[in-house]
Each structure stands twice: as C-alpha cells, then as structure tokens.
Structure 1
Amino acid sequence: MNTKRMVVMLAVSGVVFGGVFGFVQFKNMMIKDYFANLPKPVITVTAQPAATEKWQRTVPAVGTLQAVNGVDISSSVAGLIKEIAFQSGQRVKKGDRLLRLDADVEQTDLHSAQADAELARISAKRQRTLVRTDTVSQAAVDKTEAELKVKEAKVAGIRATIEKKTVFAPFDGVLGVRKVDLGQYLQPGQAIVNLQDLSVMLADFTVSQKDLAALEVGAALAMTTDAWPERTFDGSISAVEPKVDEKTGMVMVQGRFPNPDGILRPGMFARIEVVRPSQADVVTVPINAVSYNLHGDSVFVVRDGTDGKEAVRTFVKVGERRDGKVAVLSGLSTGDVVVTSGQVKLETGSLVDIRADDPLRADASQLAQPPAKTE
C-alpha cells in the first residue's frame, strides 16, 4: 500500500515539475520570438545633403601680433623726477613732453661753462688782432683758438645733457601704465612707461617651405582672433624671411594689418590665412555632422534600407573649416545626406526619421521621405 502511494506521488510530482519546466521553456521561447520580431526603433534626427562649394585656397598659420612701433620709454641720463606730464593710458603725439628730471646742477654748470667760453672767445679775438702786428706768435693764436673750441664743446655737452633731462614721446601712440613716481630717482635705461602705436599691427607667423610659392610680398592675408571671433581682418604680407629654417623647414613671414579703431593689441594670438588667387571645388558638410575620435573621423549617411531610411557610419577625411562648415576630402559625394544632429543615439543600421519641421533641413527631409504607398 505504501509503495503504491509512493509511486502515485512521484508520478504526480513528475507531471507538476514537467509542466512548470515546459511553461518556463515556452515563456522563454515566446519572449525570444517577441524581441526577434520587435520592430527597430526609429530615431528622429536632422540631416543635410553634402554640397559642393568653391573655396578660396588658403595657407593656414598661427602668429602673434605686435605694434608697428612699440617701446618702453626711458631716459638716457639719471636724475630726480621733477615733473610727470602724462597719465596712464593717455594718447600722445610725437614730441609731447612726458617727464622732466631735475637739471639745476647742470644749469649751474652751463652758466659757468658759458662764462668760460665767452672769456675764451674774447681772448681769441684779441689774439687774432695782435698777430697782425706781430705782437704774438701764430702758435699762441692757435692755442687760444683751440681753447675756445674746447670751451664751446663743453657748453654744447652740458646743453645736450640738460635736453636729455626732458623725455618726449618718440611717435604717436597710446601710453600704458606709469611705472615711476614723482620725486623718484631715475636710473639710465629704467622704464618710465610703455608706448604702443596701434594704428598698424604686425603679425609674425611661420609656414611650411612647401607653400613658398604663395608667399609673395603684397599677398592677401585674412586674420581672426579669439577676442573678435566673428570679425575677419584683412592685411597683406610685408616681408618674407629669405632663409628657410634648416631645423624645422619653416619660413618666417610678417604680415601687416591696418588697425584704425585700435581693437587689435600687441601680444594677441591670431589665426592667419594666406589667401591664394585660385579657387577649388570642395565637398562640404556642417561641422557638427562630423564625429571625431581616435579611430578616425566619421559621419552618418542616410541610405535606403529594407525597413526605411537607415543611418550608415562612413569614415571620412576632413580638411579646413570655414563659417561652420568643414571640407570633406574623401569618403563623401555631393548629394549624400548626412546626419547633423542626433548622432549619439545612432549606430550603423539604425532607422531614422528626418525632422521635417526644421526649415534648414527641408531639402534633406524631402530626399529622405519614404515612397508613398499605392492603394
């Protein structure tokens, strides 16, 4: 009896466990089948066809700006500062007085030297008169004449020293921050204030020797700066170094840029392009369409797929950038529709829906519309 009951219980248990196991297997199969037949998600993106544009050929470079005239004003003689005739940041003209040193001692020496010179002049005149009557010798006259010249030279030297006690602006420009104070003892060569002529800026930059053909004095330059990113400054090449650096293979070039409003400043970092006269046809796409990584630059191109429009990652070689666009040297053709936003969610084969409510993408949207279904 017990054996029969045990067999029945085992049979019932086998049926129950078999049913549970079968149900689990059936559930897993149904889930797998569901995901296998699940439609691909459609990702909304914006896109734009690659276009062909004519770009002026340029030689890019970077450089640093400096004023056409710039100097730290200093005095060539020492002295006590008696007068400061300028303010920091002041605009001055050539010849404007900037600073005067105490010259009282030199003025006294000048008066003494002038008296000695006058006495020597009178003595020389007398000697020239006496030599006609043979009262004095010609040698005595020559000696007196020489003494007169020495005295006059001393007067001239003291006057030159007194003139150097006053410092003038050597050219038109804008003064910097004053570096001395009234009553300070100024040493020769000590900086008083910086003066910069901002009317014209010079830009020193280097380019590769392979671009020497484009480096001609007078060739057009285009420059942009971080301070004024939306503005392009036009200039020209003013000088080309005649020697190529044998270590780097680079050539030093100097450009000249008018600066009538004074917004360019010495020391600024600048991006410069040497503009060539010829133009070239290039394939361009928006800069934000390109994904940059260590494996290579790429874009997502919209292609026709079995289920609709698909995004395909395409590796490209890019060139220079201008006005929000980048030149594609290889990997794309004119008319290829590239994704311009939404690339983060994409991978090769992803279904895409091009946003049609963006007027800038209207053309691409029309290109990517699926064919209409026939009734």
Structure 2
Amino acid sequence: MTRIAKLALEDGTVYTGEGFGADGEINGEVVFNTSMTGYQEILTDPSYHGQIVTMTYPEIGNYGVNSIDIEHEKPSLSGFIVREESRIYSNYRAEGGLSAYLQQHGIVGVAGIDTRALVRRIREQGAMRGILSTSDLNDASLVEKAKNSLGLLGRDLVREVMPTQSRKWDNRLDDWTETEIARHGAPAGAGNAKVVCMDFGMKWNIPRHFTSRGNQVTVVPGDTSADEILKLEPDGVFLSNGPGDPEPLGYAQKTIAELIGKTPIFGICLGHQLLSLACGAKTFKLKFGHRGANQPVLDLQTGKVEITTQNHGFAVEEESLPDCLEITHRNLNDDTIAGVRHRESAAFGVQHHPEASSGPHDSHYLFDRFQSVIAK
C-alpha cells in the first residue's frame, strides 16, 4: 500500500511523494548530495545530524545495505529524499534493502518527488529548513512548522552525537578485514604511534586508517580538555568531522588552542574549521554547502587536482585568516579554503574527507603525511 509523504520548505514550497522507511514527522535543514554511490556511508555519517539529505542521483538502493559500509553505529540524519527507491537490490555483499534499513533505525524517507527541481531550488535559494512527514499532510500546517523549526546556525549539534566516554579503538568496532583495508587503500608504512582522536561525530573510517598504519588509537569525547588529552601522552591528536556550526563550540576551540605547539594536530572537515577558529580565524555559512564524492580540490603545494568527498555547510573565512595560518588547498568550484597549515607548529587541516569510503581516494596521502610527523 502506497504511503503519501510530504516535504515542506520554509519558503512555502511543498513536494508530495511516496513514503518509505519509517513513518513519522521530522524537521531539519534540507541539503543535497551529488554522490552516485555510498548512500549507506552518507546515512551513517554523524556530520548529517540535523539535516534532511536529498540524493541527486536518480536511483538509490540498488545495491542494498550491509554491516561493513557504515561510518557509525546508526544513521544520524533527520530524513532521506530520493527520486526513485530501488526495491530490488543486487550485490554479493548485500544483507538487506534500503527501506527496511531506514525503518529499522527510525529514519523517514520520501521517494518519487522531482529531486532535480528541489536541488535547483536549494541552489537558487540556499539550504532551507524543512519538514518531512507521513502523518500531517496539510500543506499550510507543514509550511508553518518548517518556518518555526530550528536551523543549524548557532546550535551545538556536536553534543548530540559525540561519545560520552573515552575508548580504545582496539578491535576497530566492526572487524574491518584485511580485504577491506586493501579495498580502501593500503597504508604507506606501519608505525606504533599513539593517536588521540577528538570525536565530534567521527566517521569510523578515520580510526580505521590510523589503526591500519599500526598506530594505537584512543577516541575521546570532543569536550575533553587539553590536560586530559596530554595525560595520554599522544604522539599526535586528530580533530574529527562533525555536524553543524563550529563557532558555538568554544570548549573545543579552547582545547585545540592549548594543544597547538605541544603535539602534532590533523583536522578533517569540522576539525579543520575548529583548528582555524582556535588560531583566530572566523567561519561562515555557505549558501548550500558542498556535499558529494566529486568535488575538485587544488593542492597548492603540488599543483595537483584531487577529486574529493565533501560534506560541510560552513567554511573558513579567508579575510579573517591569521598570519600563523597558510592556505594549502582550494575548492575549485567556488575558490573557498579547503585546507590550511600552521606556519610555526605541526598542525594542519583539510575541509574534504581523505578517508572517504567508497571513494574517491585521491587524498589518502594526508594520512601518510600525518604519519610521517608522528611516526616513532
């Protein structure tokens, strides 16, 4: 039996489609991702917490889901929008279908709407607050709810996804086999360094890369103090990705500022933004963000162009960049900053995701670069 679902945007636009996954009503910022594959990684990336994600590729779900291609223990996004949900999946690794997976985790989905029109509207108007519902189907009611819902600006979403306790990443949590390590790229060389990961909503593929290089990894909550981190005697500290606006995270900025110069630092996405803020820069909200597995980035040091995976709605403001930071990478779509490094201390960050799974893998060298600094 067909279930009607509606998506309402704060500008008054309403789309009607077919519900799949869980029933219910949720709100969030409506964004889009241009990846052709990797939908399970997108679903389980904590950076999408508070967002309703639209896939631009027309058919999603055709290779099913499995217990390996996950970036966290459960999906964190608010809702999921596709043009067509494939009810038939075919892949030797598949363990189930997309709709059942969403239903299992309480994620509301909608299929059958004109995603091209929706994406064009977001590109023109910017990311907007929205309501996705299979219960309330009254257009005026839904639009009013969208207008009154919370946005991302000024909210601390990290506290809603980060862990509450520290833990050793000794079993990689999900039995990442040697086959999977090889599939994601073999490490350049082994080490035995101690890496402390500050978890602001970290994708699991990041500590996988560190452990695959022979490092001892400890994951700590994102609000852990510098003193507590230094007591762990790290050879390097990693700053993870995570959801939302980086500016409200004063506790993280304070910790990072106190760590600079005392231990090597490597940040990805939100971690890159927090490193920049800790050094005195500012961030700003992008009109509709960068989300997809096909984003070109220029490495200013080598002159090479990398195809990268990205997922962020905020960026570092170039005009506010302090003298202690040097730009290392640029996004070639809009020339925004995609990477920085500290001129005096071993600290650097990138806006894109070198750990990307299912890909692309052009930026794996960044893990090797950090490894060369922390290696014993």
TM-score class normalised by the smaller sequence: under 0.3
Q: Please state which structure has a larger fraction of its residues in strand.
A: 1
Q: TM-score, normalised by structure 1?
A: 0.16
The structure showing larger relative contact order (alpha-carbon pairs under 8 Å, at least 6 residues apart) is 1
Q: Please state which structure has a larger fraction of its residues in helix.
A: 1
Question: Rg: which structure is higher?
Answer: 1
